[in-house]
Amino acid sequence: MTEVVKGLEHLHLTDMQEVLIFVSDIHLSPDASTSEDASGFLKTLEQSMPVDCSRLFILGDLFETWVGDDVLTRSRDALRLALTSMRARGNKGLKFYLMHGNRDFLIGERLCRELDAQWISDSFILECFGQRAGLCHGDAMCIDDLDYQHFRQQVRAADWQKAFLNKPLGEREAIAQGLRHQSERSKQEKSMAIMDVNTQAVHEFVANQGIETLIHGHTHRPGRHNASFTRWVLPDWDLARKRGGWLRWDRTGLTSQGPFGAWA
């Protein structure tokens, strides 16, 4: 199995005026538009994300599934316009960063270029305000979920991905839909504990990277966990259930915010 190449792995920022925003698990459906978007994220980008944001980090699962950059969807256009509108409304130098999640790990350079976004690696190190934070999607730390980890290893291999991307679009969409159904079914048989991050894996990552803060999503269990370091778990987005939000990091610290108020 060949490994896939990695995105940008580290960023060191020195400007105390930075305003960093983190989101994940938006799960945009292919036909989403600003007026019809079950996540509520597109409207939030256009209307309520802080105008002083200098960098927006999307930490995986932006899309419900992504079966290749050659697939043109309504949500893709809507997202590009919403990001452009956020930049026009606020900071003109606003930068976007995109990380792979377990549903959209096939996002490639073409989409990043189109969205004017920088692709960043899972396990990204961000230094700002004299502190060091680690960013990841979160699924790689769910090591007790052995079936998932086996599946992950398979589909993250370059040769698997190449074979998949060479299939006709209809076939790719059918496989993705089959995997989604299988995933929903298999989750019903797994305990909450198995589907959470493994404490030891988290501690090892924090110690190896020497970070004070860890930010991730994936588990859909938003919160703030304090130990010798702080672990923030980002919420998933669902307008009907009034779920969603972002983490803001500026010189005064980290705060949970969103269209429905604080979530941690």
- Binding residues vs Mn ion (CB under 5 A): 61, 101-102, 218
By CB under 6 A, residue 183 contacts ligand LP5: yes
Query: What backbone torsions phi and psi does residue 109 show, to the nearest 5 degrees?
Result: -60, -35
Q: Pick between residue 39 and residue 91 the one whose CB is nearest to ligand LP5.
A: 39
d(CA 61, CA 79): 14
d(CA 45, CA 245): 11
Beta pairing class for 95-99 and 55-59:
parallel
Q: Pick between residue 47 and residue 154 the one whose CB is nearest to ligand LP5.
A: 154
Contacts of 28 (CB under 8 A, 6+ apart): 37, 39, 41, 42, 62, 63, 64, 75, 79
Which of the choices Mn ion, ligand LP5, none does residue 46 contact, using the CB cut-off of 5 to 8 A by kind?
Answer: none
Which of the choices Mn ion, ligand LP5, none does residue 101 contact, using the CB cut-off of 5 to 8 A by kind?
Answer: Mn ion
Enter the DSSP assignment of 138: S
Contact segment (CB under 6 A) with ligand LP5 among 31-39, 82-90, 109-117, 186-194 equals: 186-194
Token pair in block for residue 139? 């699924």
d(CA 76, CA 172): 18
Enter the DSSP assignment of 45: H
d(CA 19, CA 234): 17
Closest approach of Mn ion to the CB of residue 217, in Å:
7
| Residue from 160, 173, 230, 257 binding ligand LP5 (CB under 6 A) | 160
Token pair in block for residue 205? 């990552």
Say how many residues touch ligand LP5, by CB under 6 A: 27
By CB under 6 A, residue 260 contacts ligand LP5: no
With CA atoms as reference, report the closest residue to 245 among 232, 229, 260: 260
| Residue from 2, 153, 186, 208 binding ligand LP5 (CB under 6 A) | 186
By CB under 6 A, residue 264 contacts ligand LP5: no
Which of the choices ligand LP5, Mn ion, none does residue 195 contact, using the CB cut-off of 5 to 8 A by kind?
Answer: ligand LP5
d(CA 6, CA 154): 17
Q: Pick between residue 196 and residue 250 the one whose CB is nearest to ligand LP5.
A: 196
By CB under 6 A, residue 155 contacts ligand LP5: yes
Q: Which residues bind ligand LP5 (CB under 6 A)?
A: 65, 67, 102-103, 106, 139, 142, 145, 147-148, 151, 154-155, 160-161, 164, 175-176, 179-180, 182-184, 186-187, 190, 195
